[in-house]
A and B are shown apart, each in its own frame.
Chain A
Amino acid sequence: MLGLNKKDTLLFWIVAALALLAPFILNPFPEGSSLAQMFNAGYPDLMQRFVIFGILVIGFNILFGLTGYLSFGHAAFLGIGSYSAVWMFKLVGMNVIPAILLAMIVSGVFALLIGYISLRRSGIYFSILTLAIAQMCYNLAYSVLGNPSSNFNLTNGETGLQLSLDDARILGESVTAEGALPVTNFFGLAMRSSYQMDVGGWLFTFNAGYYLSAIIMLVSFYVSIRIFRSPFGLMLRAVKSNQQRMNYTGLNTRPYILAAFVISGIYAGLAGGLLSSMDPLAGAERMHWTASGEIVIMAILGGVGTLIGPVLGAGFNEYFKNILSKINDNVLHDWLGFLPDGFENLLVGFLHYFVGKGWHLTLGIMFMLVIIFLPGGLVQGGQRIARLFRRKKNSDETQQTPAE
């Protein structure tokens, strides 16, 4: 279908089904139960983050997974995309399409510039260059271009760029009739509007913004499959396996890598634009080097160089980040209430260090476990499970090479 082979088509449909049915899949526990309060993730904000960070890491994977160039400054493009989109909301109007387009264009231009400079080096030097440039962007956004008392306040510093009632919005209204800020919309369909479905004890939320992001994610995913399977993708892989040999055959590889860098920058800008479309505020922390590191972590968690890995890695990271930081001692007491008192307090006292403010620690441990036992990321875990079942069915089948 659509120029995909059978296996890729299946993969695409799996991702499509996961994305479109997410409100059901992510809300496995009935509303009101204590498990639901903690583990249900089927609320608009988190679902949007799943797919938006999915887009970001899919794009990152085109660069890192195919060419092996580890960009440590990818968050800069996310931030640039976010700021561009918010400026579009401030100056032009609240429709998300122009904002997303501008975000992609601006981040693409930045990627071209940054890529042109940093791709003169490879390996660790490339990573350091991208890291340094991204930190420069961060500092510009945080401090230099963001002081409200100066005449040129592009980013509004630490507070983040926000909409205000006196923005121009030449193609829309500055203030709604009720005196509020207009909301971001897709030709009139508000991004925050959602439809809630009550089924028995369950409550499923279908959010317009989520579905827009999910569809864009699917398109991005499709494009990424096509790139992986194209001659261009093959060239990038060749760069990864031995760039020197490519050069000796008389082939100039830099344009190919630069193209991959720009494409992945545009993906990041798209993700940034979408983030701002869902919630029109752009903060400088989005560009901080820890945010760049998080992108690398998501890619490695899911499985570098695989098609579905980025989506899984982004989902895993965002889910645990949100869930763990919200568990507090009260919740723990609720769960462990069935234990004898002394033991309960001891256990809560111990677990206290792993939840709430300790969410970094737990996420770090999980990351280490995945890297140590599944160096190929979550995708490798899935393959192992699949192989386990296959072996039961027909044990004589020869072992397959791992899927992409």
Chain B
Amino acid sequence: MSKSNFTRRGMLKTSALAGAGVALPTIFTASSAAAYMNEPKGGSVTLGFNVPQTGAYADEGADELRAYELAVEHLNGGGDGGMMNTFSSKALQGNGILGKKVEYVTGDTQTKSDAARASAKSMIEKDGAIMITGGSSSGVAVAVQGLCQEAGIIFMAGLTHSNDTTGKDKKANGFRHFFNAYMSAAALAPVLKNRYGADRKAYHLTADYTWGWTQEESIAAATEEMGWETVNKVRTPLAATDFSSYIAPVLNSGADVLVLNHYGGNMVNSLTNAVQFGLREKMVNGKQFEIVVPLYSRLMARGAGENVKGILGSTNWHWSLTDEASQAFVKSFGEKFGFPPSQAAHTCYVQTLLYADACERAGTFNPCGIGEALEGFEFDGLGNGPTLYRAGDHQCFKDVLVVKGKENPTSEFDLLEVVEITPRAQVEYPVDHPMFAGGALGACNAG
């Protein structure tokens, strides 16, 4: 048993200790020496590239990482400069950012919010990263964006297509270049009407997380407006790899269009399953059965192979675009890695350049200064034509591409053809649009 003796001296000692303990908080609120979180002190500045290296979106993650490598090389003055030469803002000199050499650290988000936060935290706390970028899932992007807001770090979202990223979960420290589900729906709906008619019955298979939900909502709203009927909406887990049990009920539902709100490995598997079940040869209600994949990428088209022929979808960017900027990017990416970049690579490369450029124009790495430099920023020459970073929700507005799986591909990369370039005006929406309502940017946080 324990013995305890209360003596006067003992009490004094204990209370002195306790007093010191109470006083601690005032001492321990340190790290006020720097003007903002992770202010770069030496001759270099560290960026954190947080991408999925395992999980359903690993292919996209690998391509994003390549793009980041290329962007860092260009920022430090290596290579041929890529889109830095075509970018309308000429603040970047090829001598790093604000004269500091750009270094980077990488991490694995595992396509999971928890793991992504842990990885981002280690970049911020251990490696002193001044900006976090990447992510290939909206769930992850929203979670990491929240973390960066709390930590006082800028988050440049990579591939995230959910309305929520710049809608209900928008944050002052977070910025998105990629388009979103609403824009996909707005661009895709008229094309669908032209090709498949106004009298269709749609069946949705949806990845069960923020992106899937908002895309399903957006596509259903846009198609219903033009006269389609939504027969059913079925949610599938993000980690699912076999969708046959979800495809079978489609056959008996009376639907004549299947909308796959899936991305990455999910879409490759679900589309393959759907084709194996012979959905594309079916005639339902006297009409040819059609499959639509609202968000498309070359990597997915490649994964799904033959099955993508003739299937419609939308994309943020495609390497076959012939403008000068896209050509410059495809050239330098191709020279370094031996194949053309995906839309994920493009948006990540552009985000890194936009961040660096904002630092140069603001003359500081302070997140609040960078935020001001990016808000309302109009630019061109990054592959999407004239683009606006809207101040109200930190979303980029630009043209959207409607694409189709090529019937006769000439190479293993030439899988998509651009059907239509939907002008920016057609996909714009007000900041307080119901699908985006419910959140607030809040104030910028510098840590």
Interface residues of A, Cβ cutoff 8 Å to B: 1-3, 37, 40, 43-46, 49, 142-143, 147-149, 157-160, 162-166, 175, 178-181, 183, 188-190, 192-196, 205-206, 208, 279, 281, 283, 285-286, 322, 325-326, 328, 356-357, 359-360
Q: Which of B108, B142, B149 contacts A359 (CB 8 A)?
A: B108
Q: A46-B122, A49-B118, A357-B53 are in contact. Are A142 and B29 (CB under 8 A)?
A: no
Contact present for A158 and B238 (CB under 8 Å): yes
Q: A157-B210, A208-B28, A356-B106 are in contact. Are A179 and B113 (CB under 8 A)?
A: no
A residues less than 8 Å from B151 (CB atoms): 192
Q: Which of A40, A160, A322 contacts B118 (CB 8 A)?
A: A322
B residues less than 8 Å from A188 (CB atoms): 25
Contact present for B118 and A195 (CB under 8 Å): no
A57→B149 CA distance, assembly (Å): 32
A residues less than 8 Å from B143 (CB atoms): 159-160, 162, 281, 283
Q: Any chain A CB within 8 A of the CB of B440?
A: yes
Q: Which of B106, B122, B235, B442 contacts A45 (CB 8 A)?
A: B122
Q: Any chain A CB within 8 A of the CB of B262?
A: no
How far apart are A36's CB and chain B's nearest CB, in angstroms?
A: 9
Contact present for A158 and B113 (CB under 8 Å): yes
The count of chain B contact residues (Cβ–Cβ below 8 Å) is: 54
A159→B28 CA distance, assembly (Å): 32
**Interface contact tally, CB-CB below 8 A:** 145
Which of A158, A166, A178, A357 has its CB near the most chain B CB atoms (within 10 A)? Answer: A158
B residues less than 8 Å from A190 (CB atoms): 29
A360→B302 CA distance, assembly (Å): 26
Q: A1-B2, A322-B118, A325-B53 are in contact. Are A158 and B139 (CB under 8 A)?
A: yes
Q: Which of B412-444 contact A (CB under 8 A)?
A: 439-440, 442-443
Q: Any chain A CB within 8 A of the CB of B115?
A: yes
- 0/1 per residue, B346-379, Cβ < 8 Å to A? 0000000000000000000000000000000000
Contact present for A194 and B147 (CB under 8 Å): no
B residues less than 8 Å from A183 (CB atoms): 150
Q: Any chain A CB within 8 A of the CB of B20?
A: no
Q: Any chain A CB within 8 A of the CB of B237?
A: yes
Which of A206, A279, A357 has its CB near the most chain B CB atoms (within 10 A)? Answer: A357
A332→B25 CA distance, assembly (Å): 41
**Can you give 21 contacting A-B residue pairs, CB < 8 Å?**
A37-B105, A43-B125, A46-B122, A49-B118, A143-B235, A148-B164, A158-B209, A159-B113, A159-B143, A159-B169, A160-B143, A165-B440, A179-B443, A181-B150, A192-B150, A196-B31, A279-B121, A325-B119, A326-B108, A326-B119, A357-B58
A residues less than 8 Å from B27 (CB atoms): 195
Contact present for A283 and B28 (CB under 8 Å): no
Contact present for A160 and B108 (CB under 8 Å): no
Contact present for B146 and A281 (CB under 8 Å): yes
A81→B419 CA distance, assembly (Å): 50
Which of A142, A143, A157, A166 has its CB near the most chain B CB atoms (within 10 A)? Answer: A157
B residues less than 8 Å from A357 (CB atoms): 53-54, 58, 62, 108
| Complex: chain A residue closest to B445, CB-CB | A180
A143→B235 CA distance, assembly (Å): 8
A residues less than 8 Å from B238 (CB atoms): 158
Which of B117, B122, B217, B235 has its CB near the most chain A CB atoms (within 10 A)? Answer: B122
How far apart are B41's CB and chain A's nearest CB, in angstroms?
A: 11
How far apart are B139's CB and chain A's nearest CB, in angstroms?
A: 4
A178→B439 CA distance, assembly (Å): 17
Q: A159-B209, A283-B112, A325-B53 are in contact. Are A143 and B237 (CB under 8 A)?
A: yes
Q: A160-B139, A165-B440, A194-B30 are in contact. Are A143 and B127 (CB under 8 A)?
A: no
How far apart are A178's CB and chain B's nearest CB, in angstroms?
A: 6
Q: Which of A193, A325, A360 contacts B29 (CB 8 A)?
A: A193
B residues less than 8 Å from A359 (CB atoms): 108
Q: A149-B217, A328-B106 are in contact. Are A160 and B29 (CB under 8 A)?
A: no
Q: Which of B106, B149, B210 contacts A148 (CB 8 A)?
A: B210
| Complex: chain B residue closest to A79, CB-CB | B114
A188→B143 CA distance, assembly (Å): 25
Interface residues of B, Cβ cutoff 8 Å to A: 1-2, 24-25, 27-31, 53-54, 58, 62, 105-108, 112-115, 117-119, 121-122, 125-127, 138-139, 142-143, 146-147, 149-151, 164, 168-169, 208-210, 213, 217, 235, 237-238, 439-440, 442-443, 445
How far apart are B427's CB and chain A's nearest CB, in angstroms?
A: 22
| Complex: chain B residue closest to A197, CB-CB | B30
Which of A45, A183, A360 has its CB near the most chain B CB atoms (within 10 A)? Answer: A45
Q: Which of A143, A149, A194, A285 contacts B28 (CB 8 A)?
A: A194
A residues less than 8 Å from B58 (CB atoms): 357
How far apart are A33's CB and chain B's nearest CB, in angstroms?
A: 13
| Complex: chain B residue closest to A189, CB-CB | B25
A87→B29 CA distance, assembly (Å): 26
A residues less than 8 Å from B210 (CB atoms): 148, 157-159
A residues less than 8 Å from B443 (CB atoms): 178-180
Contact present for B31 and A194 (CB under 8 Å): yes
| Complex: chain B residue closest to A322, CB-CB | B122
Contact present for B113 and A283 (CB under 8 Å): yes
A192→B127 CA distance, assembly (Å): 17
Contact present for A285 and B122 (CB under 8 Å): no
A residues less than 8 Å from B1 (CB atoms): 3
Q: Which of B114, B127, B149 contacts A37 (CB 8 A)?
A: B127
B residues less than 8 Å from A159 (CB atoms): 113, 138-139, 142-143, 164, 169, 209-210
A residues less than 8 Å from B25 (CB atoms): 188-189, 193, 208
B residues less than 8 Å from A149 (CB atoms): 213, 217
A residues less than 8 Å from B126 (CB atoms): 40, 43, 45-46
Q: A46-B122, A162-B143, A189-B25 are in contact. Are A180 and B2 (CB under 8 A)?
A: no
Contact present for B147 and A45 (CB under 8 Å): no
Contact present for B125 and A180 (CB under 8 Å): no
Contact present for B108 and A165 (CB under 8 Å): no
| Complex: chain B residue closest to A205, CB-CB | B125
B residues less than 8 Å from A178 (CB atoms): 443, 445
A181→B122 CA distance, assembly (Å): 21
A196→B31 CA distance, assembly (Å): 7
Q: A149-B217, A158-B210 are in contact. Are A195 and B53 (CB under 8 A)?
A: no
A residues less than 8 Å from B439 (CB atoms): 164-165
Which of A43, A286, A360 has its CB near the most chain B CB atoms (within 10 A)? Answer: A43
B residues less than 8 Å from A158 (CB atoms): 113, 139, 208-210, 238
| Complex: chain B residue closest to A328, CB-CB | B106
How far apart are A41's CB and chain B's nearest CB, in angstroms?
A: 8
Contact present for A160 and B149 (CB under 8 Å): no
B residues less than 8 Å from A279 (CB atoms): 117, 121, 147
Contact present for B208 and A142 (CB under 8 Å): yes
Q: A37-B127, A357-B54, A359-B108 are in contact. Are A189 and B28 (CB under 8 A)?
A: yes
